[in-house]
Amino acid sequence: MAGNWKLNKDPQETAEFAQAITGKLPSDSEVISIIAAPAIDLQTLLDQKVPNLKVASENSYFEDDGAYTGETSPLALHEMGITYGIIGHSERRGYFKETDEDINKKAHALIKNQITPIICCGESLEKREAGKVDEWVSGQVTAALKGISANEVANLVIAYEPIWAIGTGKTATSDQAEEVCKMIRHTIEDLYDEGTANSVHILYGGSVKPANVKDLMSKEDIDGGLVGGASLDPESFLQLVHYQD
């Protein structure tokens, strides 16, 4: 269960959040609890040493170093202790014009630095209404995984986030979400094999909250959630990671 804070919280608020959840997360064997925080907050979150919390970056570059002003190095993220990294979020694709090729290069760079990519994909309302969900989403997944081996793919995370459901309060129904997550698994099976497809963790994101998390997580091909707004409040995040209780 991954929270994505987006451009929210400063280091002080980050420390307060960490203190509020310390000692309250489920064990890793039950639920993997992840917070993706702005780059400027990552060290603060790591310093709090919250038991069972994995800390993730929200974006990173595809080069480890060099003349790339303003970018975040995946090598430096690894060295500081980051273990997951979101890439290809629709906000990065939309506002910052990231392409499938960029996202593929970022995936390779994270894997090289032993950071598990959380690769986002998802369709706009326009694509959904045009009946192009499968074609669009499987195309994004295929492009993101180009040149990545089956062993590497087996360990990574794909997050399906329909753009029309992000921050809008409009959740895809659990059946709609399951349908696309299943299609993503089939796409991976076609590209690799059944074992690889079954090993990948597939998350659903888009207005996930404590009230709907159980229903979404009950679906066969939805392994977890990528949660924006409802991950900002510690109590709400705790309810999400404890959805099985």
Query: Hey, which residues are catalytic here?
Result: 89, 161
DSSP single-letter state for residue 231: G
Question: Interface mask (CB under 6 A) for ligand G3H, residues 69-108, using x and -?
Answer: --------------------x-------------------
Q: Whose Cβ is closer to ligand G3H: residue 54's or residue 89's?
A: 89
- By CB under 6 A, the residues from 147 to 186 that bind ligand G3H are 161, 166-167
Distance between CA 159 and CA 97 in Å, rounded? Answer: 19
Of 39, 35, 41, the C-alpha closest to 53 is 35
φ and ψ of 78, to 5 deg: -60, -45
Is residue 226 close enough to count as binding ligand G3H by CB under 6 A?
yes
Tokens representing 47?
A: 């310093």
What are the start-end ranges of the H helices in the chain? 11-21, 42-47, 74-80, 90-95, 100-112, 125-129, 133-144, 150-154, 174-191, 194-199, 213-217, 234-241
Is residue 203 close enough to count as binding ligand G3H by CB under 6 A?
no
Q: Whose Cβ is closer to ligand G3H: residue 147's or residue 169's?
A: 169
Instruction: State the minimum distance, in angstroms, from the CB of residue 64 to ligand G3H.
Output: 25
Is residue 228 close enough to count as binding ligand G3H by CB under 6 A?
yes
Instruction: State the minimum distance, in angstroms, from the CB of residue 158 to ligand G3H.
Output: 13
Candidates 227, 240, 241, 243; binder of ligand G3H (CB under 6 A) is: 227
What is the distance, to the nearest Å, from the Cα of residue 123 to the centroid of all Cα atoms in its chain?
16
3 state SS of 108? helix
Detail the residues annotated as belonging to a binding site. 4-6, 167, 207, 228-229
Contact range with ligand G3H by CB under 6 A, out of 13-21, 60-68, 74-82, 200-208 = 200-208
3 state SS of 136? helix
User: How many other β-carbons are positioned within 10 Å of the β-carbon of residue 163?
Assistant: 19
Is residue 58 close enough to count as binding ligand G3H by CB under 6 A?
no
Is residue 110 close enough to count as binding ligand G3H by CB under 6 A?
no
Binding site for ligand G3H (CB under 6 A): 4, 89, 161, 166-167, 205-208, 226-230
